[in-house]
Amino acid sequence: MTATLPPDSDLTAATVEWELESLLPAPGDAGCDQLLDEADRLVDELAAAKGTVATMDVDALVAHLERSARLADLVGRVGSYAGLKFAVDVADPANGARMQRVEERSTAIATRLLFFELEWAALDDAQVAPLLADPRLAFAAHHLRSVRRYRPHLLSEPEEIVLTEKSVTGAGAWVRLFEELQAGITVELGGATIKLETALSQLQSPDRDERAAAAAAVTDGLAPGLRTRAFIFTTLLADKSVDDRLRHYPNWVASRNQANEASDESVQALVDSVVRRYDIAQRWYALKARLFGLDRLADYDRNATVAASDAEIGWEAATELVFDAYASFSPDLADIAREFVAEQWIDAPVRPAKRGGAFCAYTVPSHHPYVMLNWTARRRDVLTLAHELGHGVHAYLSRPQGVFHQSTPLTLAETASVFGETVTFGRLLEATSDPADRLALLAESLEGSIATVFRQIAMNRFEAAVHTERREVGELSVERFGELWYDTQHAMLGPSVDITDGYRTWWSYIPHFIGSPGYVYAYAYGQLLALSVYAQYERRGADFVPAYLELLGAGGSQAPEDLGRIVGVDLADPGFWDAGLDIVERQLEATEAAAVAAGRLS
């Protein structure tokens, strides 16, 4: 049977644009200024408490923190508005100017309040303990405990003010420049000029010639500005090195680990566990080469679909599929997901000056989250939608925790997103009986796990290499970045994948390296955690749903280990990572069996 293609507007999700003006009391710049003016007045009240934190009783602390929460709401609304407007059109000078103005005013506000965390961190444990035990401070207790973890790394107030003020024209400016350059990358392919995001999606094509052409075109598209992007990267590596030295962090990733409420030892255990099991990824690439009738894959073959065809999926069908999947687990979650579409909380189309990738912006607890996609009508996009809506429902359900506890550390931030993606995948698999289609689905799910666990740890190894070299050797050239990228990618890909010369520059479009150093291992952490959580659901069925919803609603109000216990996961168990990797290996075994059932292997 030949399917009828949806209209072009449905394929491109052309009308799916978010509505941002509800973040502000008045439209556009006037609304931004109104919120910032109110924030300036409120910060005057808060700044009057300077020098008094040591004498505050519970009532005074509660009053101060409630005003701080109101201030965070004001600044968070205007910051979200400016950032989201910029994300969908980085080329508009008005968007860039607005974001810069908001960042400068927000930074000025933040510098006036640095005293609180410094004075709070300086208090003796004996004075702090009874304050935190008071239930009136429950709305901020975990946040206040977390602040005190930074005691060994805080500088004097004048030093902190200088670093904060200079960050806008320092690291922040370099990050913004990279984002603008990255968003402006275009690719010449098939006689047309297209976005990098669209060209990368062509690497999923079942046609090898198309994949090879897309890869070559991406490499050509990355060439202009490559040395500038490399200079930005090496400059930010040096900037972080200075920050870490001043704050007495022992290694390049220690500050990220602390922000994630994870010890250096536990993160290294994760990395070591994944590296030891690189053979899982390499077994898959060897199997995939056999499925394609090749001795070895090229790097541009890694994401190719094993399906006989790469059908396009329209927006309406995709959203209904995801809603149905969510409803199979929890009708309440499905209802929240539907709100994102009905209330214009999603921006989906690919646009020339739109930031690449996909994300969920929490905004502030008094508002609602937003999701940004770059919809290319591929099946992978359906799972990306399910993934980002998982973030969205997590943000939505954790709003009652307030500004201090809504967000989780990065290590738990992927729990709901990967869970939502896995539920959607399970729904797809249940409805698929054709052996070839089942193989395609299982392969796609396995590749998602490999990309999120093994590829992200390989990128973590690249980050470790470039940060270490910048500190021990000096500035890195484009060529040296390429060598370290090759080495760390080859270690993961193994002998079944040929790395082409052009691929050596593909590190240069990845924004996490620039704006969020150390971030990427959290994807592997979150994937393995989420797979373990989903395994609990498979064992417990409907009885698991209340615990899962409790976890989402808890936000970041507890330490990660305590949050894990809500759903029966022990993050302190040294064998936890190996157990998660065993789940990925079982995915591989299921895919191998499906390949035999589909007649693709003997």
Residue whose token pair is 């998602």? 448
Q: How far apart are CA 479 and CA 485, in angstroms?
A: 10
Spatial neighbors of 313 by CB under 8 A, at least 6 apart, are 377, 378, 379, 381, 382
Domains of the chain, by residue range, sit at 21-169, 252-312+409-602
Tell me whether strands 186-189 and 192-195 are parallel, antiparallel or unpaired.
Answer: antiparallel
The residue behind tokens 């302190």 is: 572
DSSP 8-class letter at 292: T
Q: pLDDT (tens digit, 9 = 90+) per residue, 423-472?
A: 998 888 887 888 998 998 899 889 989 999 999 999 999 999 999 999 99
Average pLDDT across the chain, whole number: 93
pTM here?
0.82
Residue type, 153: H
Tens digits of per-residue pLDDT, 50-62? 999 999 999 999 9
Cβ-contact 165, 107 below 8 angstroms: yes
- Whether residue 300 is predicted with pLDDT greater than 90 in this model: the reply is yes
> 252-312+409-602: which CATH architecture?
Orthogonal Bundle (1.10)
Rounded to an integer, what distance in angstroms lies between the CA atom of residue 46 and that of residue 62?
A: 12
Instruction: State mean pLDDT over 335-363.
Output: 95
Q: Which residue from 406, 256, 372, 311 is spatially nearest to 1, judged by alpha carbons? A: 311
List Cβ neighbours of 392 (8 Å cut-off, separation of 6 or more). 336, 337, 340, 345, 360, 369, 371
Per-residue confidence (pLDDT) for residue 526, from 0 to 100: 86
Q: Which residue bears the tokens 């202009």?
A: 224
Is the CB of residue 178 less than 8 Å from the CB of residue 232? yes
How far from 507 is each of 77, 486, 511, 566, CA to CA, in Å?
A: 33, 10, 9, 38
Q: If 0-12 CB within 10 Å is exposed, 13-18 middle and 19+ buried, where does residue 247 land?
A: middle
pLDDT for 1:
33
pLDDT of 277 strictly over 90:
yes
Rounded Cα distance between 333 and 328, Å, is 10
Phi, psi of 140 (to 5 degrees): -135, 5
Q: Is the CATH code 1.20.140.70 the one for domain 21-169?
A: yes
